[in-house]
Amino acid sequence: MSHRFLSYVFLMVLVGALLVGCAVPATPAPAAPTAPAVAPAAQAPAPTVAPAAAASPAATAAAQPTEAPKAAAPATKAKFPPGKMTGWGYGQPAFYDQFLNGFIQRNPDIAAGVTVETLPTKGEEEVRTKAMLAMTSGTPNDLPDYLSTAPVSMQAMADAGILLDVTQYLESFKDRLVPGTLDQMYYKGKLWCLPRSLRPQILFYNKDIFDKYNIDPAEMATFEGYLAVGKKLRDASKGEVFLSYVDPSDRTWRYWGRRGLMPQANARIWDDQGNVVIDQDPGTKVALGYLETLLKEKLLYNSAILQPALYEATRQGKVATYYIGAFYDEFTRANLSDMAGKWRVMKAPVFKDIGVGGAPVIEIQCITNKPNAPYADLYKAMWEDYNFNAPAREAWTTDMVNQKGAYGNPIAKELLVQPFWKQPEPYYGGQSFREWEGIGLQNPSVNMRVTQKDAEADTIITAEVEKVVAGNQTMDQAIANMGKNLRDKIGKAPAK
């Protein structure tokens, strides 16, 4: 074994050790769905807050095509060897596999004999750990052909040589994608992954509750109004109805904080030089101070999100709204199918003095840089088909709706303007959830700066937020502790 190879292995082991703390929990799969409720009548009630004519995904799209795009031809004419193309994923990867295997069936001339399987993992941390192990142990052929990840782990794996540089390839599609799609994906001036979805923060609400207490959902357009609505519901119901939920574990910081209030308040954990500023940042005090107000006013039902107890409380009318990412649609449909017709959606509230909507969350998949990878170009062809083949994407989405499976809106502007993505849906009482998902991407807040230290930082911040939720400290004390502990345990988070 050469001295150079031993030096390389030592370096990679060191990199792997530094990343052990960077953990991001997986989003759990939904509980088994209850039996579907009888679909509402065809003449569903009009949505309480209807999108204005000008407020549609088309408003942010490029020039609208005059007809639906034709089925896309395969991106490559190369023929690929029979075998299994494998990936590592998390969440509910089997649903996406249906599209990938459908591509094989539609294109037997280039991929006959190829099958696709995304092997499920516990989450982003496990994917990153397994990939780093394959590199540090000198067995890069153990890598899958592609893997799911998030911007934090993407940076670490790019530095370790695990990911294929797709900058030139992906930038050729930039003008066809929804604005902002690639914003979270650049690292050291390059693109290392392919975007699969860009999903906004949304406000889900139970229309029956608002009708019962004669409250106009439009009052929730601002966070100031959202707070006022919570007080009205609490008082009118004698404390039986809560504005929303609070999770006693790490998901309060994840969904209320990092993905929600913090970017909408222009809050920061780090400055541009990587220094800790969370305890000095005015946006942090706005965001987490607002969460503390909701807690003090007893407007949040304490229960773990994505778990049966909270679904049951929601079914009983105890929780009126969910301020959360658009991904929650699939969990609502799967676990609260008997509430079909009761739910509506609207844009996330905004802070009146700031005025920006929720921050979008990117879902990414990366082609690995394994030696002699036989399916790298095949995965690119599948990615193009998924994003630009309108008939195939619509057919798969319809299947997902019928299966109560996971799907998101396209990131291609030319697909979003098609009528399919504005169709009314019985589950939302005739509202088009897909159209509102597109509307939710308008006027977004900027996501907080991404660093390789974020997963470790989230663990530190979460511990302090949990103490506030438990009533063991004030938010001011929590923010002060966050700053001290981040400086003591991490120090700086270098700029990307």
Whether the per-residue pLDDT at 58 is higher than 90: the answer is no
Say what the pLDDT of residue 496 is: 59
Strands of the sheet containing 321-325, edge to edge, are 321-325, 201-206, 343-347
Choose among 54, 37, 45, 128: nearest CA to 90: 128
Range 367-386 average pLDDT: 95
Choose among 6, 22, 439, 391: nearest CA to 203: 439
Range 431-448 average pLDDT: 93
**How does 177-211 read in b/e, with b if 16+ C-beta sit within 10 Å?**
bbbbbbebbebeeebbbbbbbbbbbbbbbbbbbbe
Common-topology check for domains 67-198+362-425 and 201-359+451-489: yes
List the domain boundaries for the chain.
Answer: 67-198+362-425, 201-359+451-489
Q: What are the Cα distances from residue 127, in Å, to 87, 214, 228, 460? A: 10, 48, 43, 22
DSSP character at residue 65: P
At the top level of CATH, the class of 67-198+362-425 is: alpha beta
Q: 495 pLDDT band (50/70/90 cuts)?
A: low
Q: 373 pLDDT band (50/70/90 cuts)?
A: confident
Range 343-349 average pLDDT: 98
Q: How far apart are CA 309 and CA 305, in angstroms?
A: 9
Q: 450 pLDDT band (50/70/90 cuts)?
A: confident
Q: Which residues lie across from 146 on neighbouring strands? A: 87, 367
Is residue 338 within 8 Å of residue 34, measured between CB atoms?
yes
Whether the per-residue pLDDT at 71 is higher than 80: the answer is no
Range 344-364 average pLDDT: 95
Say what the pLDDT of residue 77 is: 63
Range 42-64 average pLDDT: 33
- What's the pTM? 0.81
| Residue pLDDT, tens place only, 287-342 | 999 999 999 999 999 999 999 999 999 999 999 999 999 999 989 999 999 999 99
Q: How far apart are CA 236 and CA 238, in angstroms?
A: 6
Place of tokens 């004030």: 474
Mean pLDDT, rounded, of the chain: 86
Q: How far apart are CA 309 and CA 325, in angstroms?
A: 20
Has domain 201-359+451-489 been given CATH number 2.40.40.20?
no
Identity of residue 337: S
- Strands 201-206 and 321-325, how do they pair? antiparallel
| Residue pLDDT, tens place only, 119-146 | 999 999 999 999 999 999 999 999 999 9
Choose among 174, 108, 147, 190: nearest CA to 376: 147
Range 377-388 average pLDDT: 97
Say what the pLDDT of residue 229 is: 98
Compute and round to an integer the Cα radius of gyration of the chain: 23
Supply 419's token pair: 């009528």
Whether the per-residue pLDDT at 41 is higher than 90: the answer is no
Worst-scoring range by mean pLDDT, 34-48, 226-240, 340-354, 383-397?
A: 34-48
Burial of residue 467 (CB within 10 Å: 0-12, 13-18, 19+) is middle
Q: How far apart are CA 11 and CA 300, in angstroms?
A: 48
| Residue pLDDT, tens place only, 176-199 | 999 989 988 999 999 999 999 999
